[in-house]
Structure 1
């Protein structure tokens, strides 16, 4: 079975936006259940719990303002939703990655401008990448209602995806959605990192990222430490960095896994590899003196590393050279 995916998030700190989201789901179900069933929703755990189940509503519970959906709309949404991790656990990063992979092309963002939630880097990166990859982004109740009335019948065949969704990582492996206790399917990141057990560099993956002004230094770095880098199992690279490294070295070609450029979502792809415990080291030659159009994506990479207990981040050339010399080279 294949359906068109809709990514949906609602501000955790706005009663109004959560109620709006629940209300539009109820309205669309009553208006045309058959058409709505042509789509499959991707929601972070918090959005799903608050707006569908009426759970985890925090301070809103006493006021009885968020009660979720009633039957049969609730059962319908449970059947037609895959739950992503909570925003704080990286769920929005995973949704951004689906935008980059051109698998999700509809995004409902029920966010409020009156709190700081919508300004966190993960959400800003999601919004930016949805525009880069030409996703249809709907910001409020009225936009969704008009879309459903006038466009949904044509969008139901927009980039059809297998249901439940599958997430393909850089090594080709698939992370599949599994049933959750609520009845909906869910995607989870590994709870226990296995990177502790990857003692040999031959079992490890390193990511190489360099801003434009720093690419010549990254190429020089790779030439100087070509033998050491060749000991890694995989080398993830963004944009043209990988091709330039392959052209400048002779031992790394079979190790390099090229991803999108940073502005096109390569940083997000690496962040997802980190969250799925598929990346052990990030060498990031950051240019701190020039602005970047994807600053929020850059922050997301560091945020992903902060969420994991073992990933080593080397964020400047001197630190990276010392680590390669003292840790990798001396372990030979």
Structure 2
């Protein structure tokens, strides 16, 4: 397909796909990838569009793409899966800063519903102020921030369920929960919200082979499990590690790097400065190091929706 060039803020014409009839307004997704995730034929950006093609055809999202990332998509012949789109400037020309503004804005023509930022953990630009602000504003405004290949593919697959699609489902990688582990972490102001989430989705979380948590969160979750399952059955429902400030994030990060924990539900409080911020970033960096394996969900609404859709996904697998 030959793509017409567009200027920033202008949508191209939709590609002539024949997906299912949308049941809701199409999603608008912001997209950027660090350079090491763009250029190679097997890069994370290429894998995203190839692995998630069926989900994308069901969702028909609109894309808001930072310049060089869009150039890479075209160079790999994947432009037909990125239509319609808005082109933002290159990152060095403010494209990433503009994307932050579109997370904050609420007007449909100037907003995004989610952000895909495929982060190379050793790329210096991933810690630029605009990169950090992008993630923080996503958490504040309850919009998914997807920084690993695994997180994007799973999120797209789950969201496509809401369009009525079932033909897009993958082979089930990572959905055999009795063989999977999950980490449950919450900052002080978010611990009660974590407990509410865990109680609401207890049946799903109980299917995981192992559950891990840091410090107080682990103790609180075990108390919840004792109420839900009985004192003995719930006593060690979660394996608690050290508190975050004492190194619990690092302990979990090691298991992520060893590909023993795939999913991390990390409820962050974006309004409080933390002395152990480096430990938090270490855990996220571990997930991004194994980008094809691990995923992190950081906001309450996104976590609730993710767990709800995962339950639907698992029900389809067993039906």
TM-score by length of 2: 0.42
- Structure-1-length-normalised TM-score: 0.40
